[in-house]
Structure 1
Amino acid sequence: MKRLALVTLVVDDYDEAVRFYTEALGFRLVEDAPRGDGSRWVVVEPGVGASGTGLLLARAKGEEQSARVGDQTGGRVGFFLHTDDFAGDHARMLAAGVTFLEEPRHEPYGTVAVFQDLYGNRWDLLQPAGD
């Protein structure tokens, strides 16, 4: 096996999720294809030149899945977005309306701040030490 290709993120609405991830976080839309059951196959991943795991944005089906939107990891940070320009990305994300839950902090492993996506899922914006 070579890598983890996709992680599913359950969302309320495809279009609002695509807007958030592409406009506020700077991801790129990789694929948006209709499926026969009325759903869509929607994949976003970090910007140009990035490599790693993409997000499959999956619209919630039914009450059980809808209840998980925004709390897929029980309130813990569940997603880690690495950057090589923490200050620039942090400022750009703030200007785009992203909610940070703390001020940036410097840890032995790098510079980090927790933010939440449009549904409340917690993410780390992280510039690893040495980058």
Structure 2
Amino acid sequence: MRIYITSVFVDDQQKALDFYTGVLGFTTKHDIPLGEARWLTVVSPEDPEGAELLLEPDGHPAVKPYKTGLLADGIPAASFQVADVRAEYDRLVDRGVTFTQEPIAAGPVTTAVFADTCGNLIQIVTPA
């Protein structure tokens, strides 16, 4: 068994696509119109056949309280592995990304957390 697709709930799919591809560097895997929404997934260019991230509209009534609670408590909605958290932090700061947690060592990992512009906190992590 392996992860095929996982989701982040976004308040605007186009804004999310622009951020996840244009700023973070993911590539679009699927962009299929479904009425007012789209089946919109991105993947890492390092693993184009790997797990997909679904940029899912946050219109369901249960989603808003969930996202608000996570954000208020500083809990990331997703975690992405990077080769070097400090280098990725510097690259993303240069691209205008807002971090809520600068890189810190936390036991066997180094982590940092940023806002994805779509209502989520995202963690980047490098194993020690």
- Check conservation: 2:100, 2:114, Cα contact below 8 A: yes
Letter of the aligned partner of 2:36 in structure 1?
G
Which residue identity lines up with residue 117 of structure 1 in the other structure?
D
RMSD: 2.4
Measure the CA separation in 2 of the matches of 1:68 and 1:53. Answer: 27
Between 1:91-100 and 1:41-50, the stretch displaced more is 41-50
Is the alpha carbon distance of 1:31 and 1:70 closer, same or farther for their aligned partners in structure 2, counting shifts above 3 Å?
Answer: same
**One-letter amino acid of the counterpart of residue 81, structure 2:** H
TM-score between the two structures when normalised by the length of structure 2: 0.81
Question: Any idea what SS the aligned residue of 1:89 has?
Answer: helix
Cα distance, 1:70 vs structure 2: 4.4
TM-score, with normalisation over the residues of structure 1?
0.79
Task: Supply the distance in 2 between the matched residues of 1:72 and 1:42 (Cα, whole angstroms).
Answer: 25
Q: CA deviation at 1:52?
A: 4.5
Alignment match, 2:94:
95
Answering whether residue 64 of structure 2 is matched by residue 67 of structure 1, we say yes
Give % identity.
Answer: 29
Alpha-carbon distance in structure 2 between the residues aligned to 1:104 and 1:95: 15
Aligned length: 126
Q: State the partner residue of 2:19.
A: 20
